[in-house]
Amino acid sequence: MKKEELVKTTKELIAIESCTSDKDKIVQALEYVKTFFSKTNFIIKEFEFKGVKSLLVTLKSENPALLLHGHIDVVPAPKELFKPIVKDGKIFGRGAIDMKSGLAVLMHVIRDLSTENKKVDVGLLITTDEEIGGYNSTGELSEILKPKFVLSAEPTNLLIGNNAKGVLQLELSVTGKSAHAAYPWEGENAILKMVDMIAKIKELFPKKGDYYTTINFSKINAGDVLNKVPDQCTACVDIRFVPEEDPKKIIKNIESLGLLVKVITTSNSSTCDKNNAFVKKLQKSLKKNKLKTDFIKKHGASDIRHFTKKGVPGVTFGPTGKGMHAPDESVEIESLDNLYKVIKDFCLTT
């Protein structure tokens, strides 16, 4: 049965410790993919930008109209998490939901389309740096490939992810005045100044409904010795902004409080029109398989944004699970079977 095949491939992918920074394991994972497609007539093209490798597997042309997308890299984890466990209808392990199970489904879909002699204009892009932004894989390839639509099998609980937040990471600095710790009134403590600023910054990010821009204070650094009033304090923040927000305005609002702001990284949000023709076809495939046709707004970013920035529409659509980057990461096996059926039908209708 196909379900057993999907479980087998997912487990074999999880067992490869393909952390983004481990180049040898990344190569091993890509070799696994090439072996998976070795007995077919696929066009397999390899790309490399700044040492980051990617694979493009296509059926009909080297620039497919429909591009399926998945990343094979994962975040670091203890050794035991790379020993997949099947329990209670779920697969547990690093990458189970983010996103080796989704990738396994895409691999089976495209291989089965070939063995069934279905001449559809579809391709599969497999990348290896999504966990650090995807800039040297999807980012570079979005300049080369010109699909009409992109679908990434990132986890969405089998709902259509047509919105994803952008990322803005900043280093914030304040300056005080140093003094001996025995005479703190002679100085201005930069830590206390930053604490006051943090309270003011939080007010810039109010909760609005169930989908709004958020800020996380990730790091703080100040002081060099214990017997001195610190005169410098820096804090690093991670902001996830909704498509309606302008990151330049966010920066300006923070600067208006009197902080020095340094941009560490920024990445665009992404959105796809619900009335897009490909989206409608995806909904039709969901309906055919008696599944919900609802949409979901994603709080995290995905590699889709690199294509949407270039004007190429795309969505995330993937399996059901939990625990991304966590010790209990898992994917529901039944959702893999449903995902396979929907995406295969979707490919046949495009």
> How confident is the prediction along the chain (350 residues), in pLDDT tens digits per residue?
799 999 999 999 999 999 999 999 999 999 999 999 998 888 899 999 999 999 999 987 889 999 999 999 999 999 999 999 999 999 999 999 999 999 999 999 999 998 887 778 999 999 999 999 999 999 999 999 999 999 999 999 999 999 999 999 999 999 999 999 999 999 999 999 999 999 999 999 999 899 999 999 999 999 999 999 999 999 999 999 999 999 999 999 999 999 999 999 999 999 999 999 999 999 999 999 999 999 999 998 899 999 999 999 999 999 999 999 999 999 999 999 999 999 999 999 98
Do 15 and 117 lie in one domain? The reply is: yes
Write down the pLDDT at residue 43: 87
CATH of the domain at 188: 3.30.70.360
**CB–CB of 167/301 below 8 Å?**
yes
Write down the pLDDT at residue 1: 78
**93: DSSP letter:** S
Question: What pTM did the predictor assign?
Answer: 0.91
CATH of the domain at 67: 3.40.630.10
Do 309 and 326 lie in one domain? The reply is: yes
- Strand pairing class (295-298; 160-164): parallel
Write down the pLDDT at residue 320: 98
Write down the pLDDT at residue 107: 98
First to last CA, the chain: 26
Q: Helix H segments across 116-162?
A: 138-141
Do 212 and 79 lie in one domain? The reply is: no
Write down the pLDDT at residue 140: 98
Query: Sign of torsion, CA 126 129 132 135?
Result: negative
Do 51 and 137 lie in one domain? The reply is: yes
Do 280 and 292 lie in one domain? The reply is: yes
Write down the pLDDT at residue 148: 98
Do 244 and 279 lie in one domain? The reply is: no
**Domain of 202?**
166-267
**CB–CB of 140/47 below 8 Å?**
yes
Residues sharing a CB contact under 8 Å with residue 201, sequence separation 6 or more, in sequence order: 172, 215, 237, 254, 257
Q: Which of 209, 238, 267 is the last residue in one of the domains?
A: 267
- What's the per-residue H, E or C state across 65-124? CEEEEEECCECCCCHHHHCCEEECCEEECCCHHHHHHHHHHHHHHHHHHHHCCCCCCEEE
Q: Which of 316, 325, 301 is nearest to 102 (CA)?
A: 316
**CB–CB of 142/306 below 8 Å?**
yes
CA dist., res. 257 & res. 141, Å (int): 39
CA dist., res. 97 & res. 103, Å (int): 10
* AA letter at 97: I
Do 17 and 145 lie in one domain? The reply is: yes
CA dist., res. 70 & res. 64, Å (int): 15
Do 149 and 258 lie in one domain? The reply is: no
Q: Which of 252, 267, 282 is the last residue in one of the domains?
A: 267
SS3 at position 168: strand
Do 159 and 287 lie in one domain? The reply is: yes
SS3 at position 123: strand
CA dist., res. 300 & res. 240, Å (int): 7
Query: Sign of torsion, CA 131 150 114 96?
Result: positive
Query: Which residue bears the tokens 């993919």?
Result: 33
Q: Which of 207, 242, 267 is the last residue in one of the domains?
A: 267
Do 118 and 223 lie in one domain? The reply is: no
- Strand pairing class (149-152; 66-71): parallel
Do 55 and 72 lie in one domain? The reply is: yes
**CB–CB of 320/331 below 8 Å?**
yes
Do 262 and 274 lie in one domain? The reply is: no
Domain total in the chain: 2
Bridge partners of residue 172, in order along the sequence: 235, 261
CA dist., res. 289 & res. 167, Å (int): 35
SS3 at position 265: strand
